[in-house]
Amino acid sequence: MKVCAPHMGTLYVALRALFEGLGTEIVVPPPCSRRTLSLGTKYSPEFVCLPYKMLLGNFIEALEMGADTLVMIEGDRICRLGYYMRVMEHALRDLGYHFEVITTRIFQRQILGLPDGLRVFAPGAPLAVILSAVRLALCKLNALDAVERVLQRARARELTKGQAGSVWRKAIAAIDRAQNVAAVRAARDDATQVLEAIPQDTDREPLRVGIIGEIYVVLEPFVNMDVERELGRLGVQVHRTIMLSDWTRFTLFLSAVGMSAHDRAHKAAMPYLSRDVGGDGWESVGETVLHAQARFDGMVHLAPFTCMPEIIAQNILIGVRKDVDIPVLSITCDEQMGRAGMITRLEAFVDLLRRRKRTSGRRVVRRDVARSKRFSFGAGSAALPGGKSGRLSGD
Partner 1 sequence: MASVGIPRALLYYQYYPMWKTFFEELGASVRVSTPTTRATLSAGIERLVAETCLPVKVYCGHVLELAAQVDYVFVPAVRSLEPKVLNCSKFLGLPDLVRAVAPEAPPLLDPEIDLDQKSSEDRFRLPPTSEISFKARVIFYQTVYQVGRRFTSNPLRIRAAAENAWRVHQDYACLMQTGLTPPEAIARWEGDRCPSNASRVATAREEHTIALIGHPYNLYDTYITHNLVAKLRGLGVRILTSEMVTPEELRQGIVDLAGQPYWTYEDEVVGAAGYYIRDGRVDGLISVDSFGCGPDSTLVDVVRRAAREVRRPFMSLVIDEHTGEAGLVTRLEAFVDMLARRKGRMK
Binding region for partner 1 (CB under 8 A) = 45-49, 52, 76-80, 82-84, 86-87, 90, 272-279, 281, 305-309, 311-312, 314-316, 318-320, 330, 332, 394
Spatial separation of the C-alpha atoms in residues 277 and 314, rounded to whole Å: 12
Report the residue number, 10 or 224, with the smaller CB distance to partner 1: 224
Report the residue number, 49 or 174, with the smaller CB distance to partner 1: 49
φ, ψ for residue 273, nearest 5 deg? -140, 115
Q: Give bridge partners of residue 303 from the DSSP assignment.
A: 332
* 104 neighbors 18 (Cβ within 8 angstroms): no
* CB of 23 vs partner 1, minimal distance in Å: 28
Report the residue number, 183 or 308, with the smaller CB distance to partner 1: 308
Spatial separation of the C-alpha atoms in residues 175 and 172, rounded to whole Å: 5
Q: What is the side-by-side strand order in the sheet with 236-240?
A: 236-240, 207-213, 298-304, 328-333
* CB of 65 vs partner 1, minimal distance in Å: 26
* CB of 337 vs partner 1, minimal distance in Å: 14
* CB of 304 vs partner 1, minimal distance in Å: 10
Spatial separation of the C-alpha atoms in residues 179 and 34, rounded to whole Å: 32
Report the residue number, 128 or 379, with the smaller CB distance to partner 1: 379
Report the residue number, 83 or 247, with the smaller CB distance to partner 1: 83
Please give, one letter per residue, the 3-state secondary structure of 45-57: CCCCCHHHHHHHH
* 191 neighbors 32 (Cβ within 8 angstroms): no
* CB of 146 vs partner 1, minimal distance in Å: 33
Spatial separation of the C-alpha atoms in residues 366 and 373, rounded to whole Å: 10
* CB of 52 vs partner 1, minimal distance in Å: 8
Q: At how many degrees (to 10) do helices 308-324 and 385-394 cross?
A: 160
The residue among 263, 319, 259, 311 whose CA lies nearest residue 292 is 319
* CB of 80 vs partner 1, minimal distance in Å: 6
Report the residue number, 67 or 320, with the smaller CB distance to partner 1: 320
Report the residue number, 269 or 352, with the smaller CB distance to partner 1: 269
Report the residue number, 94 or 203, with the smaller CB distance to partner 1: 94
Please give, one letter per residue, the 3-state secondary structure of 137-160: HHHHHHHHHHHHHHHHHHHHHECC
* Interacting residues of 113 by C-beta distance below 8 A, sequence separation 6+: 105, 106
* CB of 252 vs partner 1, minimal distance in Å: 18
Spatial separation of the C-alpha atoms in residues 297 and 350, rounded to whole Å: 9
Residue type, 392: L
* CB of 277 vs partner 1, minimal distance in Å: 4
Report the residue number, 167 or 285, with the smaller CB distance to partner 1: 285
Q: How many residues does the chain have?
A: 395
